[in-house]
Amino acid sequence: MTSATMNNQPKQLIDVQDLHVSFRQGPARVPAVDGASFSMAPGEMLALVGESGSGKSVTALSILGLLPRPAALVEQGHILFHGQDVLGMNDAQLRQIRGNRISMIFQEPMTALNPVLTVGWQIAEVLRLHRGISAKDARVQAIALLDKVGIPDPASRHDDYPHQLSGGMRQRVMIAIALACQPELLIADEPTTALDVTVQAQIMDLIARLRHEYGTAVLLITHNLALVREQADRIAVMYAGSIVEQAPRDELFARPAHPYTRLLLRSLPHSGQRGQRLASISGSVPKLSDIGPGCPFAPRCPLAQPRCRDERPANTTVGEAHLAACHFATQAMAAAIPADAIPAIATGELLLDIRDLRVWFPIHHGFLSRVQGHVRAVDGVSLQLRRGETLALVGESGCGKTTVGKALVRLAKATAGAAVLSGAGDVLALDHHAMHAVRKRIQMIFQDPFSSLNPRLTIGESITEGMDAHRIGANAAERRARAEAIMAKVGLPAAALGRYPHQFSGGQRQRIGLARALAVEPDVVICDECTSALDVSVQAQILNLLKDIQHEFHLAYLFITHDLSVVGYLADRVAVMYLGHVVEEGLAHEVLDTPAHPYTRALLAAAPHIDGSDATRPAPRLSGDVPSPASPPTGCPFHTRCPIAQDQCQQAMPPQTALSPTHHCHCLFPQR
């Protein structure tokens, strides 16, 4: 790159040209980024969107020279920052840029801050390092920054340690550190993935506000297309190490050109797709080492032609500033895949009746570990579940939704209440022997596909284990045959039974988790966030599978999730939980379309929507965090954050208000 060409693009803040990065794995080199090119103008927000393994984080780390050495190797390419190649800089030059002119926010606010230093000190450190100001001035500036990122009472928070702050507050502190030197470029790597929806919305608003205030360009790295819909100026979609499509935001959402982008957009579940099968992309993101000479998406592309497998497509201009790396990008592809309907499931008899369930965890303190109080994880929850029905239990982290699921299978001990399973009596009061028979009927699928399977057992051993315990099948051969049949149902080959969990992708493992649950012929399956760890395209596959399986076996699902878009697609009924209480319950369309409780309204407002209807948000965003369940507020648990709270809300828990025969909420001022 000569200086002449550099002067031709004076406007570009950063220009990534044909970046190739690979990782050493033993003697082999596995590519991670395979020819990524993009550029950003000052003050622009570019969203780099891709599924896990697409190389988006590696691209970001290369900009800051933070690639792990010597494992990672930049094979070729340039990253020009103001026309200077970052890749050629030495450590001293890079340190001048890092945190000063380019800074970064990481995904996990829990580990990104040093736990033994106060947050104020960590902000001041950056200022003293790059601005060389005195400790006293740094303190003043750090407090000002804390105020700017919306931390209440910044002067006293300055001397707090990270553990004293909530996840959302820590992410605010991270942003304060990143923006301390007013950088020209902020790289945000999945900044809200670890946060709840209401907090996610706060953080995204904060980034947007500060971006305009400081004129900082933002490179937002995310897997969440809906999040990008609101704030990004331009979007670049990454797949298998290269950028397959980039366009201004509205252009991309209106006229996606690459089949991958089209499918990704269509595989996002929302309530408009009820009763339809989600468009899912078969298979999962390939390893870059397995990709042939052709288009990396060709093996999963429903429109792939022979040419796609042999020839790498170049960037084609589809519209204004709209590039797509596809041979057929300019051809109309609207009728790519027809959406087929899923037959509606008739709900049957009442299977599970949960009455006033309470799970309190004792807090032990002091001499002889006396009980000093209780964490009221679940505090009086009543729900009914019918055969063939999906009941979604929705709430933010810490609201007790997972504890409800665990109490039903007695992984957590219920303090009070009953859960009557038809034909078996109260599950929570059964003795050990009777409970063993019930375990067969209530099964659970877990969130993390990587920790839910024993790494040292083959898939076959994991699946037949439950059959062994319940003496299903006369002998080992019969159980094996049954396991093979179940594997076929969840879409995996019988040969998979002899393999170990690490040989499968996340989506495949979640299929195995479902197969393990189905092996004992349950009536109720508790799905605990079972799609939230998966990529969007894989999530669609699993959601489709869950629907098919429910139809075939006439199962009841208790679907525990924080993701409202999945709820709208999958659930028949929805129960919204806050601080151990169900605040609103009703049919899915009732709760999602006409929410009555202010918390439900806020939750729906905070969730990013793909259809772009967020311009007319029905309710303001929530401020603050969920109070601790160890010392819940008196009266209505939500009154501390409620925009319409009155004095009487603090007096007592609001009684149940019926809005329709199927829809009720606990609020003194329900909104209709």
Partner 1 sequence: MHYWLLQNSITIALLLVLAASAWQLSRRETWRIAAREIRHNRLALASFAILALYGGIAVLDSVGWRRPVINPETGDVARHTQTGAVVYDQGASALDALLKPIRGMREKTYSAPFSDRQFSAVTDIGPDGRAQRVRPPLNHPRRHLMGTDRVGMDVFYQGLKSIRTGMIIGLLTTLLAVPFAILFGVCAGYFGGWLDDAAQYLCAVLSSIPTVLFIAAFMIIFGQGLPQLCLAMGIASWTGLYRLLRGETLRLRDADFVQAATATGVPVWRILSRHIVPNLLHIVLITTVLRFSSEVLAEAALTYLGIGVGADTMSWGSMINDARTELTRDPVIWWKLTTAFAFMIGLVLPANIFADAVRDALDPRLRTQ
Q: What angle do CA 284, 285, 286 make, to 5 degrees?
A: 105
- The nearest distance, CB 370 to partner 1, in angstroms, is 15
Q: From the CA atom positions of the chain, what is the Rg in Å?
A: 26
- 457 is a site residue for partner 1 (CB under 8 A): yes
Chain centroid, CA 122 distance in Å? 28
- The nearest distance, CB 356 to partner 1, in angstroms, is 23
Phi and psi (nearest 5°) for 668?
-75, -25
Helix axis angle, 119-131 to 135-148, nearest 10°: 120
- 466 is a site residue for partner 1 (CB under 8 A): yes
Among 453, 555, 575, 606, binds partner 1 (CB under 8 A): 453
For strands 84-85 and 28-40, give the pairing.
unpaired
Chain centroid, CA 303 distance in Å? 29
Q: Which of residues 638-657 bind partner 1 (CB under 8 A)?
A: none
Task: Tell me whether residue 467 or residue 574 sits nearer to partner 1 (CB atom).
Answer: 467
Phi and psi (nearest 5°) for 449?
-70, -15
- 409 is a site residue for partner 1 (CB under 8 A): yes
Task: Tell me whether residue 176 or residue 527 sits nearer to partner 1 (CB atom).
Answer: 527
Give all strands of the β-sheet with 581-587 in edge-to-edge order: 442-445, 524-528, 556-561, 390-394, 573-578, 581-587, 663-665, 657-660
CB neighbours of 429 closer than 8 A, spacing ≥ 6? 418
Tokens of 522: 């349950």
Among 469, 481, 485, 488, binds partner 1 (CB under 8 A): 469
CB neighbours of 283 closer than 8 A, spacing ≥ 6? 299, 300
- 465 is a site residue for partner 1 (CB under 8 A): yes
Task: Tell me whether residue 41 or residue 435 sits nearer to partner 1 (CB atom).
Answer: 435
With b meaning 16 or more CB within 10 Å and e meaning fewer, what string describes 426-438?
ebbebeeeeeeeb
Task: Tell me whether residue 82 or residue 470 sits nearer to partner 1 (CB atom).
Answer: 470
Among 96, 451, 634, 660, binds partner 1 (CB under 8 A): 451
Q: Cis bond leading into 70, ω under 30°?
A: yes
Chain centroid, CA 568 distance in Å? 16
Q: Is-contact 653 636, C-beta < 8 A?
A: yes
- The nearest distance, CB 542 to partner 1, in angstroms, is 16
Q: Is-contact 207 218, C-beta < 8 A?
A: yes
- 446 is a site residue for partner 1 (CB under 8 A): yes
Among 367, 456, 616, 655, binds partner 1 (CB under 8 A): 456
**Ramachandran area for residue 648 (φ above 0: left; ψ -120 to 50: alpha; else beta):** alpha
Instruction: Kindly write out the interface string for residues 378-407 of this chain, putting x where it contacts partner 1 by CB under 8 A and - elsewhere.
Output: ----------------------------x-
Strand segments, DSSP code E, in 257-301 are: none
Tokens of 653: 């828990």
For strands 322-324 and 390-394, give the pairing.
unpaired
Interface size with partner 1, residues (CB under 8 A):
32
- The nearest distance, CB 414 to partner 1, in angstroms, is 15
Phi and psi (nearest 5°) for 104?
-140, 145
Q: Which of residues 594-613 bind partner 1 (CB under 8 A)?
A: none
Amino acid at 140: V
Task: Tell me whether residue 222 or residue 510 sits nearer to partner 1 (CB atom).
Answer: 510
Helix axis angle, 476-489 to 459-470, nearest 10°: 120
Task: Tell me whether residue 133 or residue 457 sits nearer to partner 1 (CB atom).
Answer: 457
Q: Which stretch in 197-205, 208-216, 235-243, 448-456 sits in contact with partner 1 by CB under 8 A?
A: 448-456
- 470 is a site residue for partner 1 (CB under 8 A): yes
- 439 is a site residue for partner 1 (CB under 8 A): yes
Among 170, 440, 547, 562, binds partner 1 (CB under 8 A): 440
Task: Tell me whether residue 240 or residue 512 sits nearer to partner 1 (CB atom).
Answer: 512
Q: Which of residues 506-565 bind partner 1 (CB under 8 A)?
A: 513, 516, 520
- The nearest distance, CB 292 to partner 1, in angstroms, is 24
- The nearest distance, CB 500 to partner 1, in angstroms, is 4
Task: Tell me whether residue 17 or residue 458 sits nearer to partner 1 (CB atom).
Answer: 458
Cβ burial of 613 (10 Å; 0-12, 13-18, 19+) is: exposed
Among 136, 502, 613, 647, binds partner 1 (CB under 8 A): 502
Among 390, 443, 510, 550, binds partner 1 (CB under 8 A): 443
Q: What does the binding site for partner 1 look like in residue numbers (CB under 8 A)?
A: 406, 409, 411, 436, 439-440, 442-444, 446-448, 451-458, 461-462, 465-466, 468-470, 500, 502, 513, 516, 520
